[in-house]
């Protein structure tokens, strides 16, 4: 089995490959957290699977996540299997335990969507819902244009013209990306919707981190994403300000390539409620060093367009009677798949090697004196 074979074309195939690889490599525990609220695209069970390697009371823990954004799991799952198959798990120091969280959002992975079964962008959902939620008034200006009445008729055409005019008047594509993708809490059928309460994937992930991180003094997290930046390059993204100790640590471990959403050095705009922001809340006694590892695919306008199309399909198209196997729906699904995964072996090899490199550097960081 070579590197390209670590990757799959369905969630069910990815799950099976992951479980087989983890079992064969001697995972000390394998947990299936079954989603009780949804089924897969082919009626299959949906689960967030967790494989643990290493001692129960290890003082260092490395967590690698895939599928926080659903079908971005086609990238992350293959990378996780690569960690197992290419000897990276076996290379870890004795004091480091490793946790692979496979398909954090299994619904989106199976249905080839970024969002959860509640149309929630899970990486905007790690909020304190007892407090007022962030506001995104500029999103409200363009919501109706982002989700037009039709996707291949006059409604879409009018929306495109109006969106182009909005971009011209408001700072172009960077401003558009920040408003659309930053996160919003006002429109449950809209894009990058952060939810009104913790999603199942959120609650489940927090419980996993609390359980498996209970004995850890130091925790590193690599949350694998795809869709932003140059094809095949993995941008290490911190959410911390440059003066935060966790940011300096991330750059010390992974190099000056580590960018920050809060400093504006990342391809990602600042986002509200990201998953890696929850680690310190879940494990207040541990030193957390967390990044998103964001692999580039295709150009940003294409990615945003594909996400819009998929949102339209579920918010409007299917509800109006459009069949999921119609030509229009199949075209939308092909585009959202291809926006977040590049079907080329050299891309698969690059993302796999980059993830391995980042895991090895995390071992070094977790066990080095400078981290203490
Ligand atoms: Zn993502």
Over residues 217-253, the pLDDT tens digits come to 999 999 999 999 999 999 999 999 999 999 999 999 9
Residue 299: half-sphere exposure toward Cβ, Cα within 13 Å = 3
> What's the gap in Å between 226 CA and the centre of ligand 1?
6
> What's the gap in Å between 133 CA and the centre of ligand 1?
21
Compute the C-alpha angle 353/283/273, nearest 5°: 70
**Is residue 372's pLDDT more than 60?**
no
For range 265-285, the mean pLDDT = 95
For range 283-301, the mean pLDDT = 97
**Is residue 174's pLDDT more than 70?**
yes
> What's the gap in Å between 316 CA and the centre of ligand 1?
23
> What's the gap in Å between 370 CA and the centre of ligand 1?
30
Q: Which residues contact 95 (CB under 8 A, 6 or more apart)?
A: 58, 59, 60, 366, 367
Q: Which residues contact 121 (CB under 8 A, 6 or more apart)?
A: 69, 114, 115, 183, 191, 192, 193, 194, 195
**Is residue 143's pLDDT more than 90?**
yes
**Is residue 369's pLDDT more than 90?**
no
**Is residue 371's pLDDT more than 80?**
no
> What's the gap in Å between 227 CA and the centre of ligand 1?
7
Percent of the chain with pLDDT over 70: 99
> What's the gap in Å between 72 CA and the centre of ligand 1?
6
pTM: 0.97
> What's the gap in Å between 152 CA and the centre of ligand 1?
27
**Is residue 370's pLDDT more than 90?**
no
CA dihedral of residues 63, 68, 73, 79 (deg, nearest 10): -20
For range 120-146, the mean pLDDT = 97
**Region of poorest pLDDT, from 79-93, 178-192, 358-372:** 358-372
> What's the gap in Å between 135 CA and the centre of ligand 1?
21
- The per-residue pLDDT of the chain, averaged, comes to 96
Give SS3 for 69. Answer: coil
User: What is the rounded distance in angstroms from the CA atom of residue 6 to the CA atom of residue 18?
Assistant: 9
Tokens standing for 214? Answer: 């209970």
Q: Which residues face 219 on adjacent strands?
A: 61, 288
**Is residue 327's pLDDT more than 70?**
yes
For range 105-134, the mean pLDDT = 97
> What's the gap in Å between 73 CA and the centre of ligand 1?
9
pLDDT for 1 equals 76
Q: Which residues contact 224 (CB under 8 A, 6 or more apart)?
A: 64, 65, 66, 68, 72, 75, 76, 79, 80, 292, 293, 295, 355
The answer to whether residues 96 and 34 touch, using CB atoms and an 8 Å cutoff, is: no
> What's the gap in Å between 333 CA and the centre of ligand 1?
17
pLDDT for 206 equals 98
DSSP 8-state secondary structure symbol assigned to residue 96: E
Q: Which residues contact 15 (CB under 8 A, 6 or more apart)?
A: 47, 49, 102, 103, 106
pLDDT for 242 equals 94
Q: Which residues face 184 on adjacent strands?
A: 193
**Is residue 359's pLDDT more than 90?**
yes
Percent of the chain with pLDDT over 90: 98
**Is residue 265's pLDDT more than 70?**
yes
> What's the gap in Å between 199 CA and the centre of ligand 1?
16
pLDDT-derived band of residue 113, with 50, 70 and 90 as boundaries?
Answer: very high
Q: Where are the alpha helices (DSSP H) in the chain?
A: 11-24, 73-85, 106-111, 137-146, 154-169, 172-181, 200-212, 245-254, 279-282, 300-312, 327-339, 345-367
Measured distance between the N- and C-terminal CA atoms of the chain, rounded to whole angstroms: 39
> What's the gap in Å between 56 CA and the centre of ligand 1?
30
For range 309-319, the mean pLDDT = 98
- Digit-coded pLDDT (tens) for 22-63: 999 999 999 999 999 999 999 999 999 999 999 989 999 999
């Amino acid at each position: 089995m070579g590197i390209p074979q670590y990757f799959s074309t369905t969630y069910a195939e990815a799950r099976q490959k992951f479980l087989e690889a983890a079992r064969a490599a001697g995972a000390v525990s394998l947990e299936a957290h079954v989603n009780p609220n949804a089924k897969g695209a082919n009626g299959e069970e949906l689960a967030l699977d967790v494989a643990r390697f290493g001692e129960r009371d290890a003082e260092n823990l490395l967590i690698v996540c895939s599928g926080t954004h659903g079908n971005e799991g086609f990238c992350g799952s293959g990378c996780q299997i690569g960690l197992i198959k290419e000897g990276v798990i076996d290379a870890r120091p004795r004091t480091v335990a490793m946790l692979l969280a496979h398909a954090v959002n299994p619904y989106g992975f199976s249905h080839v969507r970024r969002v959860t079964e509640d149309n929630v962008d899970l990486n905007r959902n790690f909020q304190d819902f007892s407090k007022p939620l962030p506001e995104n008034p500029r999103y409200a200006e363009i919501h109706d244009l982002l989700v037009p009445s039709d996707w291949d008729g006059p409604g879409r055409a009018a929306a495109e013209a109006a969106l182009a005019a909005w971009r011209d008047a408001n700072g172009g594509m960077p401003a558009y990306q920040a408003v659309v993708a930053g996160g919003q809490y006002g429109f449950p059928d809209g894009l990058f919707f952060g939810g009104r309460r913790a999603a199942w994937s959120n609650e489940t992930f927090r419980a996993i981190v609390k359980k498996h991180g209970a004995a850890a003094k130091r925790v590193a997290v690599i949350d694998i994403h795809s869709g932003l930046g140059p094809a095949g390059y993995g941008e290490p993204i911190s959410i911390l300000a440059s003066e935060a100790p966790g940011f300096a640590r991330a750059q010390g471990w992974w190099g000056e390539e580590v960018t920050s959403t809060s400093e504006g050095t990342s391809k990602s705009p600042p986002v509200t409620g990201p998953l890696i922001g929850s680690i310190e809340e879940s494990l207040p006694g541990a030193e957390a060093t967390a990044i998103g590892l964001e692999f580039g695919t295709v150009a940003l306008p294409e990615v945003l367009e594909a996400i819009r199309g998929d949102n339209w399909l579920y918010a409007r198209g299917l509800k109006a009677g459009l069949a999921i196997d119609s030509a229009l729906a199949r075209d939308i699904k092909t585009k959202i798949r291809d926006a977040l995964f590049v079907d080329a072996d050299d891309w698969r090899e690059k993302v796999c090697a980059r993830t391995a490199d980042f895991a090895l550097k995390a071992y070094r960081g977790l066990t080095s004196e400078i981290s203490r």
